[in-house]
Structure 1
Amino acid sequence: MSRPQSPQRPFISFGNPFRMIFPKGSYLSPKLLDLLTTFEETLAGRLKKLKPADKEDVLCLSWMTCAMETLCGIHADIKTLITALELPICDWDDKWIDVYLDNSVKLLDICIAFSSEVSRLKQGHLFLQCVLHNLGNACSNQFIRAHSSMDRWRQHIGSNNPRLGNCFPIMDSLARTLDLPKIKNSAKGKVLMRAMYGVKVVTLHICSIFAASFSGSSKKLMDLEVPETCLWAEAFADFQIFVNTEIRNTYSIKRVISLKEMEDVDTCVKKLYPIVENGVDCVEAAVVKKSALDLEKSAEKLSERLDLLAKEVDGFFQMVLTGRDALLCNLRIDGNNVSNQVIDYNVEGQTVG
């Protein structure tokens, strides 16, 4: 029986942040305006390119890898903009620094949660290897072991990951910080805050897509409203509506397993399960052989794509961490004080990827 579709969450609106950033009468030099325009047009282009060509791609590991790749590109773009603005850290407002450092900690925690889930899914490959090994032997005892390994695989992928659950309140906290501090007497600061707003919105939305994909639930999928004054607003709205609609439609009628590659493996397991459970005769032996081959191909594709996604998540983690460390280093050099509430992020013992 299909689950009833949950009502679509209303758009999360935080007012118009640019009313604070660019009040009436504000002036940007041609150089600053060009930098901001280039950044926003590039962001729009990245969103258009990331929009899936087909709805079947949304809950697919290969598309999720592209999404994480896009995030890395967007965060590289903001670093390039900061360099081009020639705005030294000593000119940054303390509030900007505190918000940046606090948000970076939260992003690192989210990355660790996603990495933990990818690693958990990868561990399931061991059960599939046991299934394939035992199916290769025409022995009733081996078939019993294969059947047991299938049970363990299904139990494993159906289990909950506490770390993944912990990232939901973190994302809610990030959503509450999308409103921007009032900028006074700093044209460069206004450009920086407007660009960072774009990075935060897109990053948060993609993270919510990942959380929904991994958890098999659209409850925490976010709908973020962007002011029309952003050059990337239309591209973001088009991207968000397409992806969110497809995920919600899928979860309203679908199985527990959400990721397409995982579902392909599960389909093979379901086909083999009753045959192996009831015993294999000579006629069914050929069916088992073909089904085992299908399972091997699906399991290998799943493993390879999880490896690629793990690499991209680790790359994003390192990018966020490097940017944070660079800011902290510059603060120490400049002798500025950071809020007592912000501390260095300790990654000792953390494994990502």
Structure 2
Amino acid sequence: MSRPQNPHRSFFPFGNPFRMKSPKSSNLSPQLLGILNAFEATLAERMRKLMPKSNDEILSISWMVLAMESLCETHNAIKTLITDLDLPVSDWDEKWVDLYLDISVKLLDICIAFSSELSRLNQGHLLLKCALHNLDSASSKQFVRACSSLDGWRQHINSSNPRIEKCGSILDTLLGSLDLPKVKNSAKGKVLMQAMYGVKVETVFVSSVFSAAFSGSAKKLLDLPVADTYSWAQSFRSLQNLVNEEIRVTFSSGRFTALKELEAVDSCVKKLHPAIQGGTDTVETESLLKTVEDFGSATEKLSQGLDLLAKGVDAFFQVVLTGRDALLSNLRSGGIVNDRMPGGNINSSFSP
């Protein structure tokens, strides 16, 4: 993971070019207003659930799993809202369709990047297991082999992932999609666009946090301004301020990762390495056994967490993909557009 530190990154360094104001809802019928209010109330509740109870929870893998689950729920909720609105895809404005398709393909690319990083981190687990195997013996020769495995892990874990490096440019592109398209003569369209804005804000926020965590740098963190006119604005700002500030503090302190479970393993490695370096037989057995035990526990916790998070990212990928496929299918059946992207899976790539 790279370790460059960067100044606080403003969402818009030269001011906000977009006027992210909530569409006026005074002209909505009670039924449409009820649908929108219910959606936004649930969105606010999801954001409150993501509020860490302590700073130690921020960027723990368990928190990241919850964040992915929240995104899946939010993206599924927008599908339900569209059904409740009874707004056929054939009635969608062309710019809405283009916006949705453009955002979805970028989200798929981001999922692929996150999946590749989780796979890379899991590959390092093999080196940790090898080190643990050699630490089972008190042999000086085995200590040398364990030391070699730990060195290999450090080198592997500090390498960069080109896919993650590209996430910054993808996120920058997604920023422009936060602007609300103008909706004329369609109350249902106004509800859809306002709800979609909430979906996009949560998605960009979580993606930027993951990108910062995986890149080992706070430069990819985004600070999204949300108008008070949104009922979920305060919940979102509280979440964003707490999480982003803690990540920036973490990297400013010189730590190479903000991932709590990965940091725990690294801490154990730093204790083990000097204790067994050179295959010395003079280490304190009781102290070494305790360090090895902690190392084994931290390694297993990291591995299990990475597996759960990988499943979460894959689930989000599938939610986005099925939503995109459903839209394209509806558009084709109406003779409006041709499918511009074949179906795929988490291991495929949609970007050159």
TM-score tier (shorter): over 0.9
Structure 2 SS opposite 1:73? helix
Deviation at 1:178, TM superposition (A): 1.0
Deviation at 1:346, TM superposition (A): 4.5
Deviation at 1:18, TM superposition (A): 3.6
2:94 is matched with 94
- Counterpart AA for 2:232: W
The verdict on how the C-alpha distance between 1:14 and 1:71 changes in structure 2, with shifts beyond 3 A counting, is: farther
- Kindly indicate whether residue 329 of structure 2 is the aligned counterpart of residue 329 of structure 1: yes
Residue 16 of structure 1, aligned match among 12, 15, 19 = 19
Deviation at 1:5, TM superposition (A): 6.9
Root-mean-square deviation over aligned CA pairs: 1.9
Deviation at 1:286, TM superposition (A): 2.9
Map 1:65-214 → 2, pairs under 5 A: 65-214=65-214
Deviation at 1:259, TM superposition (A): 1.0
- Kindly indicate whether residue 275 of structure 2 is the aligned counterpart of residue 278 of structure 1: no
Query: How many Å separate the matches in 2 of 1:5 and 1:213?
Result: 13
CA contact (8 A) 1:115 1:314 kept: yes
- Kindly indicate whether residue 320 of structure 2 is the aligned counterpart of residue 317 of structure 1: no
Query: How many Å separate the matches in 2 of 1:263 and 1:102?
Result: 36
The verdict on how the C-alpha distance between 1:176 and 1:195 changes in structure 2, with shifts beyond 3 A counting, is: same
The verdict on how the C-alpha distance between 1:351 and 1:146 changes in structure 2, with shifts beyond 3 A counting, is: farther
1:62 is matched with 62
The verdict on how the C-alpha distance between 1:283 and 1:93 changes in structure 2, with shifts beyond 3 A counting, is: closer
Deviation at 1:138, TM superposition (A): 2.6
Deviation at 1:6, TM superposition (A): 4.2
CA contact (8 A) 1:14 1:179 kept: no
Deviation at 1:176, TM superposition (A): 1.3
Deviation at 1:68, TM superposition (A): 0.6
Query: How many Å separate the matches in 2 of 1:283 and 1:16?
Result: 64
1:218 is matched with 218
1:27 is matched with 27
CA contact (8 A) 1:18 1:194 kept: no
- Counterpart AA for 1:319: V
2:347 is matched with 350
Structure 1: 5+ residue stretches without partners:
none
The verdict on how the C-alpha distance between 1:42 and 1:348 changes in structure 2, with shifts beyond 3 A counting, is: closer
The verdict on how the C-alpha distance between 1:5 and 1:111 changes in structure 2, with shifts beyond 3 A counting, is: closer
The verdict on how the C-alpha distance between 1:55 and 1:348 changes in structure 2, with shifts beyond 3 A counting, is: closer
The verdict on how the C-alpha distance between 1:51 and 1:277 changes in structure 2, with shifts beyond 3 A counting, is: same
Range moving further from structure 2, 77-86 or 8-17: 8-17
Query: How many residue pairs are counted as aligned between the two chains?
Result: 344
The verdict on how the C-alpha distance between 1:200 and 1:349 changes in structure 2, with shifts beyond 3 A counting, is: closer
- Counterpart AA for 1:245: E
- Counterpart AA for 1:17: M
Deviation at 1:284, TM superposition (A): 2.2
- Counterpart AA for 1:350: N
The verdict on how the C-alpha distance between 1:207 and 1:145 changes in structure 2, with shifts beyond 3 A counting, is: same
1:37 is matched with 37
Structure 2: 5+ residue stretches without partners:
none
The verdict on how the C-alpha distance between 1:348 and 1:139 changes in structure 2, with shifts beyond 3 A counting, is: same
Structure 1 SS opposite 2:284? helix
